[in-house]
A and B are shown apart, each in its own frame.
Chain A
């Protein structure tokens, strides 16, 4: 765990963007519907049912397919020279420069620092009551957890199974699920922070929370 959080933060500060490169899905004739530098928006609506901004049309076998933006951001690296030309599958034709928000940066930093304990299968999860109580009481210092500790209850078809933690020892920094909610297999359940890094991570996150301007 040799990450210099300050460096990481500095990098995000100087360039708070993430570029999402858009590749062509398949071969076809392309015609762009956006310009370089144009702001585009990703899918909207409560269920993501409204498609994002139309980026380009890709025509193959007289089937004109509309390709919409999947992220909010600005169009960059647009390959204007490809306009009206035949493209191969998987060609990068533009990028959406997405400005990272406070939460996104925190998430990115945490996923690099924390050890993530994922859900072994799709089920409902609950923290065992003692652990939940401890977490409530000692929110500042965190709760220490070691491999082999029984930490979660997995509830599947009304049958409860105790799940033991099997990662490196550390402090529970973040609980990613809502008690009793269904979690998909592989989704994060707990984020465990090495004890020596805890103060440092807390400080960095606090700084982002208070100082970061969106």
Chain B
């Protein structure tokens, strides 16, 4: 029998829970006005204060009434959760965090690389953990590496799960540890986005490095997304299976950020709530949306209003799902039949709720062949992402023809630069060895063989060193008749002022001079004025050598973003192009290259599914033809927000393609011009070992406004200048536009992998 006092203590607990539940509802609804929550909260608070003044029966009667009312309100909220409300759930202080998962999903764990606030970056947690399953009353444990963001419970030092560059570096370090030890990695993503600072190792650079490493990490990886904020999420998000919490969000940008851009809200002004709600709906950020778009693999069900810290049922489900996902990744590499049988068994058992036991225990170790298969499956998975969401404007019979042509050219290049070249190299080696070591007697014997060989395999007329030097001496660094192409910018009779005129005393420049003879460069201080992308098409490459491919891949509006279609059409009409990426074959002083170019006139050079696909195909083309790959960034504004997470997944997708190209012995060089920001820099551009910038360009992760709003500190005017990027080690050099062609040619000669055709 409970005493009166114990009854009262129970009611005290109940009332405290009511307070939590009401404030949680208020978090979701963004205030206490909806459903008179404020008033209800006051009623509960009053009752808490005067709990001993009431007779027991009346007290419980009152508690019952509040319980009914609260349950009714909770049901109503759960019935129609809007995307903006889901964002509020994710940001609520009552939501579960990574620490809760480590404590409740894993049997034991040891945090690595710091503890609490004594940490490289408290927003990122890495831990060695064990997770166990029961099979026929026997317990089997698995070792895993857990890496993820920790939002904390209101501690300022956690920075709300916003990882600093060195936090992402820590994550990478422990990924490598897991790879060395051969244990699977479980990623948990709880981040509103990466902290946008450029300090070494640099926000964008580090994310790019992480994605590049994850693309070919030789261990199974499973990620779970609760709050997936764009680039920050990708830094620990590339995995073999991506799970997502049913009340989580995964988005290209926060709804507030999207609203500020869409509504053209000025800095410091409040963004209207309706606009935020509207953008949240447009961005298609919920779990169901992401599953439909194919950016995640499975949803982990939460309670209707989202899981909180004490939802042990949810943790049980999460443990089950993580084990199942890891099993599936492992089984797929072993045998497809075993995987299917396993998946069917799981589905059958899940009908009755979260199973307590597994029917089988699977070892999470992979042998070499299985690792190869794992990487191949990962590559295939990411290459498929976003396919079908861009517009393909090729005529119907052409795809078959195109495919046949691709196969034929692959066969040709394999024979030309694979088989024959390998054979040629071997024979050359033998001849060199024999003639090098031999005496006069041996040379006599070797000479005729060499002469015969030279006759059969005449030296191709390729630009070898001495020939090139000759070419350089005779020719200008520009095309012989470079003056033939004058940008339309130059056709104006007026002058402009150099931005450094005050500081460096530059004279006003006459526009036809500036954009004609001076190539848009101030002759006094060297400031580079922006030029159209056509200038580069015409002046950087050999005359008439530019051959565009994949023009038929066109940007679309895959999410049906309101008001985006007319803007897209306007850009198509204005530029005469269908996406912001141009991919083409070209020659630079005789060297054939594959070029991917992002240009500013089309949606400010933003990257969506079409651009991503074109880039991936350019990488593959460069790999097949064994040509160097140049990514010239005229301007990029980041990932196109109107394509939501379909745009975000282009980051891992393109990085994977680049990685495969580089691993195959290619030479990938990136040259930034004007403004290059955000997603692309934090992935497939930033991962290049050779990055250069044209003078006066700016390179960074987030624009100055976002940095100011996130860090609360002013940004120096030259924070993201090429010079500072060079100082921070982001890029390897700054090039003058007038020497672009020469520098590029020299880069081809001096750098790059061994498999290029001219090596």
- Measured CB to CB, the residues of A under 8 A from B are 26, 45-47, 49, 60-63, 65
Contact = CB atoms under 8 A, between A and B. Distances in A.
B701 to A, nearest CB: 20
Contacts of B717: 47, 49
Interface string B501-520: 00000001010000000000
A61 B716 contact: no
Contacts of A26: 508
Contacts of B492: 62
B56 to A, nearest CB: 64
B505 to A, nearest CB: 11
B71 interface: no
B716 A63 contact: no
A64 to B, nearest CB: 9
Interface in B124-146: none
Contacts of A46: 714, 716
Given A60-B508, A61-B508, A63-B508, A49 B494 contact: no
A184 to B, nearest CB: 15
A52 to B, nearest CB: 13
A61 to B, nearest CB: 4
B714 A63 contact: no
Contact of B493 (A47, A49, A60, A62): A62
A152 to B, nearest CB: 30
Contacts of B714: 45-47
Nearest to B494: A62
A99 B430 CA distance: 87
A63 B493 contact: no
B393 to A, nearest CB: 42
Contacts of A47: 714, 716-717
Interface string B689-719: 0000000000000000000000000101100
Interface in B468-517: 492-497, 508, 510
Given A60-B508, A61-B508, A63-B508, A49 B716 contact: yes
A62 B493 CA distance: 8
Contacts of A49: 716-717
B495 A60 contact: yes
Interface of B: 492-497, 508, 510, 714, 716-717
A88 B641 CA distance: 51
Contacts of A60: 495, 508
Given A26-B508, A46-B716, A47-B716, 19 more contacts: A45-B714, A46-B714, A47-B714, A47-B717, A49-B716, A49-B717, A60-B495, A60-B508, A61-B493, A61-B495, A61-B510, A62-B492, A62-B493, A62-B494, A62-B495, A63-B494, A63-B495, A63-B496, A63-B497
A26 B495 CA distance: 13
Contacts of B496: 63
B363 to A, nearest CB: 58
A63 B716 CA distance: 28
Contacts of B497: 63, 65
Nearest to A66: B497
A57 to B, nearest CB: 12
16 contacts: A26-B508, A45-B714, A46-B714, A47-B716, A49-B717, A60-B495, A61-B495, A61-B508, A61-B510, A62-B492, A62-B493, A62-B494, A62-B495, A63-B495, A63-B497, A63-B508
Contacts of A62: 492-495
Contacts of A45: 714
A60 B497 CA distance: 11
Contacts of A65: 497
A188 B4 CA distance: 82
A49 B716 CA distance: 8
Contacts of A61: 493-495, 508, 510
The 7 closest A-B pairs by CB, nearest first: A62-B494, A49-B717, A63-B495, A61-B495, A46-B714, A47-B716, A61-B494
Among A46, A63, A65, the most chain B Cβ lie within 10 Å of the Cβ of A63
Contacts of B495: 60-63
A55 to B, nearest CB: 14
Contacts of B716: 46-47, 49
Nearest to B714: A46
